[in-house]
Structure 1
Amino acid sequence: MSEPATPFPGGAVNRRRATRGTLGDSAARKVERPAPLRQAVYEALIELIVNRTLQPGQHLVEIELAEYLGVSRQPVREALQRLQTEGWVDLRPAQGAFVHTPTEEEADQLLSVRSVLETHSAKLAAENANPSDVLVLEHLQLEGVDALENLDVDRMVAANAALHAFITKLSGNAVLAELIGLVDRRVRWYYTPIARPRGEDAWAEHDQLIQAIAAGDAEQASRIMTAHTERTRLAYHEERQAQANS
Protein backbone atom coordinates (compact mmCIF):
# COMPACT_ATOMS: atom_id res chain seq x y z
CA MET A 1 0.00 0.00 0.00
CA SER A 2 1.50 3.34 -1.00
CA GLU A 3 1.96 6.17 1.51
CA PRO A 4 -0.39 9.14 1.16
CA ALA A 5 1.05 12.14 -0.64
CA THR A 6 2.01 15.13 1.47
CA PRO A 7 1.64 18.75 0.34
CA PHE A 8 5.25 19.47 1.30
CA PRO A 9 7.49 16.54 0.23
CA GLY A 10 10.69 16.40 2.26
CA GLY A 11 9.16 17.19 5.65
CA ALA A 12 9.15 20.25 7.87
CA VAL A 13 12.13 22.00 6.25
CA ASN A 14 10.48 22.07 2.84
CA ARG A 15 7.17 23.04 4.44
CA ARG A 16 8.79 26.12 5.99
CA ARG A 17 10.46 26.97 2.68
CA ALA A 18 7.17 26.68 0.82
CA THR A 19 5.47 28.93 3.36
CA ARG A 20 8.18 31.57 2.94
CA GLY A 21 7.79 31.32 -0.81
CA THR A 22 4.04 31.83 -0.58
CA LEU A 23 4.36 34.95 1.56
CA GLY A 24 7.30 36.28 -0.43
CA ASP A 25 8.94 39.45 0.78
CA SER A 26 6.05 40.27 3.09
CA ALA A 27 7.23 37.52 5.45
CA ALA A 28 10.11 39.79 6.42
CA ARG A 29 7.86 42.71 7.37
CA LYS A 30 7.24 43.45 11.00
CA VAL A 31 3.88 44.25 12.55
CA GLU A 32 3.82 48.01 13.01
CA ARG A 33 3.34 49.05 16.59
CA PRO A 34 0.71 51.71 17.23
CA ALA A 35 2.14 55.21 17.43
CA PRO A 36 0.73 56.96 20.54
CA LEU A 37 1.35 60.47 19.18
CA ARG A 38 -0.30 59.68 15.85
CA GLN A 39 -3.33 58.24 17.65
CA ALA A 40 -3.50 61.21 20.02
CA VAL A 41 -3.48 63.67 17.11
CA TYR A 42 -6.16 61.66 15.33
CA GLU A 43 -8.38 61.63 18.43
CA ALA A 44 -7.84 65.35 19.03
CA LEU A 45 -8.80 66.27 15.47
CA ILE A 46 -11.96 64.15 15.62
CA GLU A 47 -13.04 65.90 18.82
CA LEU A 48 -12.39 69.31 17.26
CA ILE A 49 -14.62 68.27 14.35
CA VAL A 50 -17.33 66.73 16.54
CA ASN A 51 -17.62 69.77 18.82
CA ARG A 52 -17.62 72.08 15.78
CA THR A 53 -14.43 73.91 16.70
CA LEU A 54 -13.52 72.86 13.17
CA GLN A 55 -16.63 73.61 11.13
CA PRO A 56 -17.93 71.57 8.16
CA GLY A 57 -16.25 72.85 5.01
CA GLN A 58 -13.39 74.52 6.91
CA HIS A 59 -9.97 74.43 5.26
CA LEU A 60 -7.50 72.45 7.36
CA VAL A 61 -3.94 73.78 7.17
CA GLU A 62 -1.37 71.28 8.42
CA ILE A 63 1.04 73.81 9.91
CA GLU A 64 -1.77 75.62 11.77
CA LEU A 65 -3.13 72.39 13.20
CA ALA A 66 0.37 71.27 14.18
CA GLU A 67 1.01 74.53 16.04
CA TYR A 68 -2.40 74.36 17.73
CA LEU A 69 -1.77 70.80 18.92
CA GLY A 70 1.91 71.36 19.70
CA VAL A 71 3.20 68.64 17.39
CA SER A 72 5.08 68.34 14.11
CA ARG A 73 3.31 68.28 10.75
CA GLN A 74 3.94 64.58 10.14
CA PRO A 75 1.41 63.14 12.64
CA VAL A 76 -1.11 65.76 11.50
CA ARG A 77 -0.65 64.70 7.87
CA GLU A 78 -1.07 61.04 8.81
CA ALA A 79 -4.15 61.80 10.89
CA LEU A 80 -5.76 63.76 8.05
CA GLN A 81 -5.21 60.86 5.68
CA ARG A 82 -6.90 58.50 8.14
CA LEU A 83 -9.75 60.95 8.70
CA GLN A 84 -10.23 61.17 4.96
CA THR A 85 -10.54 57.38 4.76
CA GLU A 86 -13.18 57.43 7.51
CA GLY A 87 -15.19 60.26 5.96
CA TRP A 88 -14.41 63.06 8.42
CA VAL A 89 -12.17 65.00 6.04
CA ASP A 90 -12.13 65.61 2.28
CA LEU A 91 -8.73 65.79 0.57
CA ARG A 92 -9.03 67.80 -2.65
CA PRO A 93 -6.26 67.79 -5.26
CA ALA A 94 -4.33 71.07 -5.42
CA GLN A 95 -6.59 72.54 -2.69
CA GLY A 96 -5.81 70.65 0.50
CA ALA A 97 -7.87 69.17 3.30
CA PHE A 98 -11.34 70.30 4.34
CA VAL A 99 -13.72 69.17 7.08
CA HIS A 100 -16.33 66.99 5.43
CA THR A 101 -19.79 68.51 5.11
CA PRO A 102 -22.30 65.70 5.71
CA THR A 103 -25.12 65.48 3.24
CA GLU A 104 -28.77 65.27 4.29
CA GLU A 105 -28.82 61.67 3.13
CA GLU A 106 -25.75 60.72 5.18
CA ALA A 107 -27.25 62.21 8.33
CA ASP A 108 -30.63 60.65 7.68
CA GLN A 109 -29.18 57.18 7.19
CA LEU A 110 -27.06 57.33 10.34
CA LEU A 111 -29.78 58.80 12.56
CA SER A 112 -32.27 56.23 11.28
CA VAL A 113 -29.89 53.38 12.16
CA ARG A 114 -29.27 54.97 15.54
CA SER A 115 -33.03 55.01 16.17
CA VAL A 116 -33.35 51.29 15.56
CA LEU A 117 -30.37 50.43 17.78
CA GLU A 118 -31.31 52.72 20.66
CA THR A 119 -34.96 51.65 20.64
CA HIS A 120 -33.87 48.08 21.30
CA SER A 121 -31.35 49.33 23.84
CA ALA A 122 -34.10 51.15 25.78
CA LYS A 123 -36.28 48.04 25.79
CA LEU A 124 -33.49 45.89 27.26
CA ALA A 125 -32.56 48.60 29.76
CA ALA A 126 -36.12 48.65 31.12
CA GLU A 127 -35.95 44.88 31.53
CA ASN A 128 -32.59 44.96 33.33
CA ALA A 129 -32.35 48.18 35.34
CA ASN A 130 -32.31 48.10 39.13
CA PRO A 131 -32.96 51.02 41.55
CA SER A 132 -29.27 51.93 41.67
CA ASP A 133 -29.18 52.17 37.87
CA VAL A 134 -32.19 54.47 37.93
CA LEU A 135 -30.41 56.76 40.39
CA VAL A 136 -27.51 57.04 37.94
CA LEU A 137 -29.91 57.90 35.13
CA GLU A 138 -31.56 60.55 37.29
CA HIS A 139 -28.14 62.05 38.11
CA LEU A 140 -27.27 62.20 34.40
CA GLN A 141 -30.65 63.80 33.75
CA LEU A 142 -29.97 66.51 36.34
CA GLU A 143 -26.60 67.21 34.73
CA GLY A 144 -28.27 67.70 31.35
CA VAL A 145 -31.02 69.93 32.71
CA ASP A 146 -28.46 72.08 34.52
CA ALA A 147 -26.43 72.41 31.31
CA LEU A 148 -29.62 73.39 29.46
CA GLU A 149 -30.49 76.06 32.04
CA ASN A 150 -26.98 77.50 31.71
CA LEU A 151 -27.08 77.28 27.90
CA ASP A 152 -23.85 75.28 27.96
CA VAL A 153 -23.91 73.44 24.63
CA ASP A 154 -20.77 71.37 25.24
CA ARG A 155 -22.14 70.10 28.55
CA MET A 156 -25.53 69.41 26.99
CA VAL A 157 -23.98 67.31 24.24
CA ALA A 158 -21.76 65.48 26.72
CA ALA A 159 -24.65 64.83 29.12
CA ASN A 160 -26.86 63.62 26.30
CA ALA A 161 -24.16 61.22 25.12
CA ALA A 162 -23.54 59.99 28.68
CA LEU A 163 -27.22 59.32 29.31
CA HIS A 164 -27.66 57.37 26.09
CA ALA A 165 -24.40 55.49 26.72
CA PHE A 166 -25.57 54.40 30.17
CA ILE A 167 -28.87 53.16 28.76
CA THR A 168 -26.85 51.15 26.26
CA LYS A 169 -24.77 49.74 29.11
CA LEU A 170 -27.94 48.72 30.95
CA SER A 171 -29.06 46.75 27.90
CA GLY A 172 -26.41 44.16 28.76
CA ASN A 173 -25.95 43.39 25.06
CA ALA A 174 -22.27 43.69 24.10
CA VAL A 175 -22.92 43.48 20.35
CA LEU A 176 -25.55 46.22 20.57
CA ALA A 177 -23.17 48.38 22.59
CA GLU A 178 -20.43 47.91 20.01
CA LEU A 179 -22.72 48.87 17.13
CA ILE A 180 -23.99 51.97 18.95
CA GLY A 181 -20.39 52.87 19.77
CA LEU A 182 -19.57 52.89 16.06
CA VAL A 183 -22.06 55.71 15.40
CA ASP A 184 -21.69 57.61 18.67
CA ARG A 185 -19.21 60.24 17.47
CA ARG A 186 -21.18 61.05 14.35
CA VAL A 187 -24.38 61.30 16.36
CA ARG A 188 -22.66 63.86 18.60
CA TRP A 189 -21.42 65.69 15.49
CA TYR A 190 -24.94 65.97 14.13
CA TYR A 191 -26.47 66.73 17.54
CA THR A 192 -24.21 69.66 18.48
CA PRO A 193 -25.91 72.31 16.25
CA ILE A 194 -29.38 71.34 17.49
CA ALA A 195 -28.54 70.85 21.18
CA ARG A 196 -29.96 74.23 22.19
CA PRO A 197 -33.12 74.38 20.04
CA ARG A 198 -33.85 70.73 20.79
CA GLY A 199 -32.76 70.91 24.42
CA GLU A 200 -35.97 71.56 26.39
CA ASP A 201 -37.99 68.92 24.55
CA ALA A 202 -35.12 66.43 24.50
CA TRP A 203 -34.59 66.50 28.25
CA ALA A 204 -38.34 66.28 28.91
CA GLU A 205 -38.35 63.16 26.73
CA HIS A 206 -35.37 61.81 28.65
CA ASP A 207 -37.34 62.25 31.88
CA GLN A 208 -40.24 60.22 30.46
CA LEU A 209 -37.81 57.56 29.28
CA ILE A 210 -36.22 57.25 32.72
CA GLN A 211 -39.66 56.86 34.30
CA ALA A 212 -40.48 54.02 31.90
CA ILE A 213 -37.15 52.30 32.63
CA ALA A 214 -37.69 52.73 36.38
CA ALA A 215 -41.11 51.12 36.04
CA GLY A 216 -39.67 48.23 34.06
CA ASP A 217 -42.04 49.02 31.20
CA ALA A 218 -40.05 47.78 28.21
CA GLU A 219 -42.69 48.55 25.60
CA GLN A 220 -43.21 52.09 26.83
CA ALA A 221 -39.45 52.68 26.95
CA SER A 222 -39.21 51.47 23.36
CA ARG A 223 -42.01 53.80 22.20
CA ILE A 224 -40.49 56.82 23.95
CA MET A 225 -37.01 56.15 22.55
CA THR A 226 -38.37 55.68 19.03
CA ALA A 227 -40.22 59.01 19.21
CA HIS A 228 -37.24 60.71 20.86
CA THR A 229 -34.68 59.67 18.23
CA GLU A 230 -37.11 60.42 15.40
CA ARG A 231 -37.65 63.96 16.68
CA THR A 232 -33.90 64.44 16.85
CA ARG A 233 -33.59 63.27 13.24
CA LEU A 234 -36.30 65.70 12.10
CA ALA A 235 -34.79 68.55 14.14
CA TYR A 236 -31.47 68.06 12.39
CA HIS A 237 -33.11 68.37 8.97
CA GLU A 238 -35.09 71.43 10.06
CA GLU A 239 -31.89 73.09 11.27
CA ARG A 240 -30.13 72.35 7.97
CA GLN A 241 -33.04 73.82 6.02
CA ALA A 242 -33.10 76.92 8.23
CA GLN A 243 -29.37 77.44 7.61
CA ALA A 244 -29.88 77.02 3.86
CA ASN A 245 -32.65 79.63 3.84
CA SER A 246 -30.82 82.17 6.01
Structure 2
Amino acid sequence: MQPTQLPNDLAARRIDRPVPLRERVYQSMQELIITGHLAPGQHLVESELAEMLGVSRQPVREALQLLNSEGWVDLRPGYGAFVHAPTQAEADELLAVRALLETESARLAALNTDAAGVARLRELCRKGEAAQEAGDVEGMVEANAALHRCVTELSGNRVLLDFATQVDRRVRWYYTPVARQRGKHSWEEHSRMVDAIERKDAEAAATIMREHTERTRRSYLEQHQDSVATEPPAQVRTRRRPGTTAKR
Protein backbone atom coordinates (compact mmCIF):
# COMPACT_ATOMS: atom_id res chain seq x y z
CA MET A 1 0.00 0.00 0.00
CA GLN A 2 1.35 3.38 -0.98
CA PRO A 3 1.58 5.96 1.83
CA THR A 4 -0.81 8.88 1.60
CA GLN A 5 0.79 11.86 -0.11
CA LEU A 6 -0.52 15.24 0.99
CA PRO A 7 -0.33 18.18 -1.38
CA ASN A 8 2.54 20.49 -0.46
CA ASP A 9 0.21 23.39 0.39
CA LEU A 10 -1.67 21.17 2.88
CA ALA A 11 1.37 19.44 4.35
CA ALA A 12 2.95 22.82 5.11
CA ARG A 13 0.02 23.91 7.24
CA ARG A 14 0.37 23.44 10.98
CA ILE A 15 -2.37 23.84 13.52
CA ASP A 16 -1.35 26.46 16.04
CA ARG A 17 -2.18 25.09 19.48
CA PRO A 18 -1.67 27.76 22.11
CA VAL A 19 -0.77 26.66 25.62
CA PRO A 20 -3.99 26.32 27.68
CA LEU A 21 -4.47 29.14 30.15
CA ARG A 22 -4.37 26.73 33.10
CA GLU A 23 -0.88 25.62 31.99
CA ARG A 24 0.35 29.22 31.89
CA VAL A 25 -1.15 29.87 35.32
CA TYR A 26 0.41 26.63 36.57
CA GLN A 27 3.84 27.66 35.27
CA SER A 28 3.55 31.15 36.78
CA MET A 29 2.51 29.82 40.18
CA GLN A 30 5.21 27.16 40.14
CA GLU A 31 7.82 29.83 39.48
CA LEU A 32 6.45 31.97 42.34
CA ILE A 33 6.80 28.95 44.65
CA ILE A 34 10.33 28.15 43.46
CA THR A 35 11.53 31.71 43.97
CA GLY A 36 9.91 31.96 47.40
CA HIS A 37 7.38 34.65 46.50
CA LEU A 38 4.80 32.09 47.62
CA ALA A 39 6.29 30.67 50.81
CA PRO A 40 5.94 27.14 52.20
CA GLY A 41 2.75 26.88 54.24
CA GLN A 42 1.25 30.04 52.71
CA HIS A 43 -2.51 29.99 52.21
CA LEU A 44 -3.40 30.35 48.53
CA VAL A 45 -6.65 32.23 47.97
CA GLU A 46 -8.12 31.70 44.50
CA SER A 47 -9.56 35.21 44.18
CA GLU A 48 -6.28 36.84 45.20
CA LEU A 49 -4.25 34.70 42.80
CA ALA A 50 -6.69 35.37 39.98
CA GLU A 51 -6.43 39.12 40.53
CA MET A 52 -2.63 38.99 40.76
CA LEU A 53 -2.28 36.96 37.54
CA GLY A 54 -5.03 38.80 35.66
CA VAL A 55 -7.19 35.74 35.00
CA SER A 56 -10.49 34.29 36.19
CA ARG A 57 -10.71 31.89 39.13
CA GLN A 58 -11.33 28.82 36.94
CA PRO A 59 -7.80 28.46 35.49
CA VAL A 60 -6.39 29.18 38.97
CA ARG A 61 -8.52 26.35 40.39
CA GLU A 62 -7.34 24.01 37.62
CA ALA A 63 -3.72 25.04 38.13
CA LEU A 64 -3.98 24.35 41.86
CA GLN A 65 -5.20 20.84 41.08
CA LEU A 66 -2.15 20.27 38.84
CA LEU A 67 0.22 21.70 41.45
CA ASN A 68 -1.35 19.47 44.08
CA SER A 69 -0.89 16.35 41.95
CA GLU A 70 2.83 17.15 41.60
CA GLY A 71 3.44 17.97 45.26
CA TRP A 72 3.84 21.75 45.01
CA VAL A 73 0.55 22.54 46.75
CA ASP A 74 -1.51 20.82 49.45
CA LEU A 75 -5.31 20.89 49.13
CA ARG A 76 -6.98 20.61 52.53
CA PRO A 77 -10.76 19.98 52.42
CA GLY A 78 -12.59 22.72 54.23
CA TYR A 79 -9.53 24.97 54.49
CA GLY A 80 -8.27 25.50 50.95
CA ALA A 81 -4.88 25.35 49.22
CA PHE A 82 -1.50 25.84 50.85
CA VAL A 83 2.03 25.89 49.45
CA HIS A 84 3.60 22.54 50.28
CA ALA A 85 6.29 22.67 52.97
CA PRO A 86 8.94 20.10 51.97
CA THR A 87 9.88 17.69 54.73
CA GLN A 88 13.49 17.01 55.60
CA ALA A 89 13.15 13.48 54.19
CA GLU A 90 11.80 14.76 50.86
CA ALA A 91 14.65 17.21 50.44
CA ASP A 92 17.28 14.68 51.52
CA GLU A 93 16.07 12.09 49.03
CA LEU A 94 15.89 14.48 46.09
CA LEU A 95 19.23 16.16 46.77
CA ALA A 96 20.89 12.76 47.16
CA VAL A 97 19.59 11.69 43.74
CA ARG A 98 20.68 15.03 42.30
CA ALA A 99 24.23 14.41 43.60
CA LEU A 100 24.40 11.05 41.81
CA LEU A 101 23.14 12.47 38.50
CA GLU A 102 25.35 15.54 38.51
CA THR A 103 28.49 13.76 39.64
CA GLU A 104 28.23 11.55 36.56
CA SER A 105 27.36 14.59 34.44
CA ALA A 106 30.58 16.33 35.51
CA ARG A 107 32.66 13.22 34.84
CA LEU A 108 31.26 12.83 31.32
CA ALA A 109 31.47 16.56 30.61
CA ALA A 110 35.20 16.47 31.31
CA LEU A 111 35.58 13.71 28.73
CA ASN A 112 33.37 15.28 26.04
CA THR A 113 33.47 19.07 26.37
CA ASP A 114 35.25 21.27 23.83
CA ALA A 115 36.53 24.85 24.17
CA ALA A 116 33.12 26.30 23.30
CA GLY A 117 31.50 24.30 26.11
CA VAL A 118 34.08 25.50 28.62
CA ALA A 119 33.47 29.08 27.48
CA ARG A 120 29.72 28.65 28.17
CA LEU A 121 30.49 27.41 31.67
CA ARG A 122 32.89 30.31 32.31
CA GLU A 123 30.23 32.82 31.25
CA LEU A 124 27.66 31.27 33.57
CA CYS A 125 30.20 31.41 36.41
CA ARG A 126 30.71 35.12 35.72
CA LYS A 127 26.96 35.74 35.83
CA GLY A 128 26.62 33.85 39.08
CA GLU A 129 29.54 35.65 40.71
CA ALA A 130 28.13 39.01 39.62
CA ALA A 131 24.73 38.12 41.10
CA GLN A 132 26.40 36.98 44.32
CA GLU A 133 28.35 40.23 44.66
CA ALA A 134 25.15 42.21 44.04
CA GLY A 135 23.21 40.19 46.62
CA ASP A 136 20.78 39.11 43.90
CA VAL A 137 19.43 35.79 45.22
CA GLU A 138 17.15 35.14 42.23
CA GLY A 139 20.06 35.83 39.88
CA MET A 140 22.26 33.41 41.84
CA VAL A 141 19.63 30.68 41.77
CA GLU A 142 19.03 31.16 38.05
CA ALA A 143 22.74 31.12 37.19
CA ASN A 144 23.32 28.10 39.43
CA ALA A 145 20.54 26.13 37.72
CA ALA A 146 21.79 27.17 34.26
CA LEU A 147 25.37 26.11 35.04
CA HIS A 148 24.36 22.70 36.40
CA ARG A 149 22.10 22.15 33.39
CA CYS A 150 24.91 23.15 31.05
CA VAL A 151 27.25 20.59 32.65
CA THR A 152 24.63 17.88 32.07
CA GLU A 153 24.11 18.99 28.47
CA LEU A 154 27.86 18.85 27.88
CA SER A 155 27.95 15.29 29.23
CA GLY A 156 26.45 14.19 25.92
CA ASN A 157 24.11 11.73 27.67
CA ARG A 158 20.52 12.57 26.74
CA VAL A 159 18.98 10.08 29.18
CA LEU A 160 20.97 11.67 31.99
CA LEU A 161 19.72 15.08 30.85
CA ASP A 162 16.10 13.86 30.92
CA PHE A 163 16.43 12.67 34.51
CA ALA A 164 18.27 15.83 35.61
CA THR A 165 15.57 18.00 34.01
CA GLN A 166 12.88 16.19 36.01
CA VAL A 167 14.47 17.22 39.33
CA ASP A 168 15.77 20.63 38.24
CA ARG A 169 12.80 22.77 39.31
CA ARG A 170 12.53 21.17 42.72
CA VAL A 171 16.29 21.54 43.22
CA ARG A 172 15.92 25.26 42.49
CA TRP A 173 13.17 25.40 45.13
CA TYR A 174 15.45 23.82 47.72
CA TYR A 175 18.50 25.86 46.71
CA THR A 176 16.80 29.26 46.99
CA PRO A 177 16.76 29.35 50.84
CA VAL A 178 20.50 28.58 51.05
CA ALA A 179 21.76 30.54 48.02
CA ARG A 180 22.91 33.49 50.10
CA GLN A 181 24.42 31.24 52.75
CA ARG A 182 26.38 29.20 50.19
CA GLY A 183 27.22 32.38 48.27
CA LYS A 184 30.89 32.87 47.42
CA HIS A 185 31.91 29.31 48.39
CA SER A 186 29.47 27.85 45.89
CA TRP A 187 30.89 29.84 42.99
CA GLU A 188 34.47 29.04 44.00
CA GLU A 189 33.52 25.36 43.82
CA HIS A 190 31.91 25.90 40.42
CA SER A 191 35.06 27.57 39.14
CA ARG A 192 37.28 24.69 40.33
CA MET A 193 34.95 22.20 38.66
CA VAL A 194 35.14 24.08 35.36
CA ASP A 195 38.93 24.08 35.66
CA ALA A 196 38.86 20.28 36.00
CA ILE A 197 36.49 19.95 33.03
CA GLU A 198 38.73 22.17 30.91
CA ARG A 199 41.81 20.06 31.60
CA LYS A 200 39.70 16.90 30.98
CA ASP A 201 40.31 15.52 34.46
CA ALA A 202 37.15 13.44 34.76
CA GLU A 203 37.82 12.09 38.25
CA ALA A 204 38.58 15.53 39.70
CA ALA A 205 35.47 17.03 38.06
CA ALA A 206 33.31 14.25 39.51
CA THR A 207 34.84 14.60 42.98
CA ILE A 208 34.37 18.38 43.05
CA MET A 209 30.76 18.07 41.89
CA ARG A 210 30.00 15.36 44.44
CA GLU A 211 31.45 17.44 47.29
CA HIS A 212 29.70 20.57 45.98
CA THR A 213 26.25 18.98 45.87
CA GLU A 214 26.81 17.37 49.27
CA ARG A 215 27.61 20.77 50.84
CA THR A 216 24.42 22.20 49.38
CA ARG A 217 22.44 19.25 50.73
CA ARG A 218 23.90 19.69 54.22
CA SER A 219 23.27 23.45 54.14
CA TYR A 220 19.61 22.93 53.28
CA LEU A 221 19.09 20.26 55.95
CA GLU A 222 20.82 22.36 58.63
CA GLN A 223 18.72 25.39 57.77
CA HIS A 224 15.57 23.27 57.75
CA GLN A 225 16.38 21.93 61.22
CA ASP A 226 17.05 25.46 62.52
CA SER A 227 13.77 26.78 61.11
CA VAL A 228 11.81 23.92 62.67
CA ALA A 229 13.52 24.48 66.04
CA THR A 230 12.66 28.19 66.10
CA GLU A 231 9.17 27.89 64.60
CA PRO A 232 6.35 28.74 67.06
CA PRO A 233 3.79 25.98 67.74
CA ALA A 234 1.19 25.79 64.98
CA GLN A 235 -2.21 27.17 65.85
CA VAL A 236 -4.97 24.65 65.22
CA ARG A 237 -7.84 26.13 63.25
CA THR A 238 -11.27 24.71 63.95
CA ARG A 239 -14.28 25.12 61.74
CA ARG A 240 -17.39 26.55 63.33
CA ARG A 241 -20.59 24.68 62.63
CA PRO A 242 -23.31 26.62 60.84
CA GLY A 243 -25.61 28.41 63.24
CA THR A 244 -23.20 28.34 66.19
CA THR A 245 -21.56 31.30 67.83
CA ALA A 246 -18.16 31.62 69.41
CA LYS A 247 -17.94 31.27 73.17
CA ARG A 248 -16.96 34.40 75.01
TM-score range, shorter chain: 0.7 to 0.9
* Alpha-carbon distance, 1:135 to partner: 1.1
Q: CA deviation at 1:232?
A: 0.5
Cα deviation, residue 199, structure 1: 1.1
Q: Please, which runs of 5 or more residues in structure 2 have no aligned partner?
A: 1-16, 231-248
Among 171, 196, 204, which residue is 2:155 paired with? 171
Which residue number corresponds to residue 105 of structure 2?
Answer: 121
Map of 1:73 onto structure 2: 57
Q: Aligned-pair RMSD on alpha carbons?
A: 1.0
Amino-acid identity (%): 58
Name the aligned partner's letter for residue 74 of structure 2: D
Question: In 2, distance between residues paired with 1:194 and 1:74?
Answer: 35
User: Cα deviation per residue 1:17-72 (whole Å; 9 max; x = unaligned)?
Assistant: xxxxxxxxxxxxxxxx8852111001001000000100000000001000000000
Code of the residue aligned with 2:154 in structure 1: it is L
Partner of 2:171: 187
Partner of 2:146, secondary structure, is: helix
Q: Which letter maps to 2:116?
A: S
Q: Does 1:53 align with 2:53?
A: no
How far the C-alpha of 1:245 sits from its partner, in A, is 3.1
Deviation string, structure 1 residues 120-167 (Cα, Å, up to 9, x no partner) = 000110001111111111111011011000110000000000100110
| TM-score with structure 1 setting the length | 0.85
TM-score (norm 2): 0.85
Deviation, 1:182, is 0.3
Segment drifting more, 169-178 vs 236-245? 236-245
* Secondary structure in 2 matching 1:216: coil
What is the CA deviation profile of residues 86-138 of structure 1, one whole-angstrom value per residue up to 9, with x for unaligned ones? 10000001000000000000000000000000000001100011111111111
The residue number in structure 1 matching 2:85 is: 101
Residue 13 of structure 1 corresponds to none
Indicate the structure with greater helix content: 1
Asked if 1:244 corresponds to 2:244, the answer is no
Cα distance between partner residues in 1 of 2:222 and 2:188: 20
User: 2:71 is matched with which residue?
Assistant: 87
1:63 aligns with 2:59: no
Aligned residue identity for 1:138: R
The code of the aligned residue for 1:241 comes to: Q
Secondary structure, in 3 states, of the residue corresponding to 1:91?
Answer: strand
Shift in Å, 1:244? 2.4
SS of match in other structure, 1:55: coil
Partner of 1:158: 142
Q: In the alignment, what sits opposite 2:192?
A: 208
Count of matched residue pairs: 214
Give the structure 2 partner of residue 225 of structure 1: 209
The runs of 5 or more residues in structure 1 that have no matched partner are 1-32
Task: State the secondary structure of the residue aligned to 1:98.
Answer: strand
Deviation at 1:190, TM superposition (A): 0.3
Tell me the alpha carbon deviations over residues 73-97 of structure 1, each in whole angstroms, 9 at most, x when there is no partner: 0000000001101100000010000
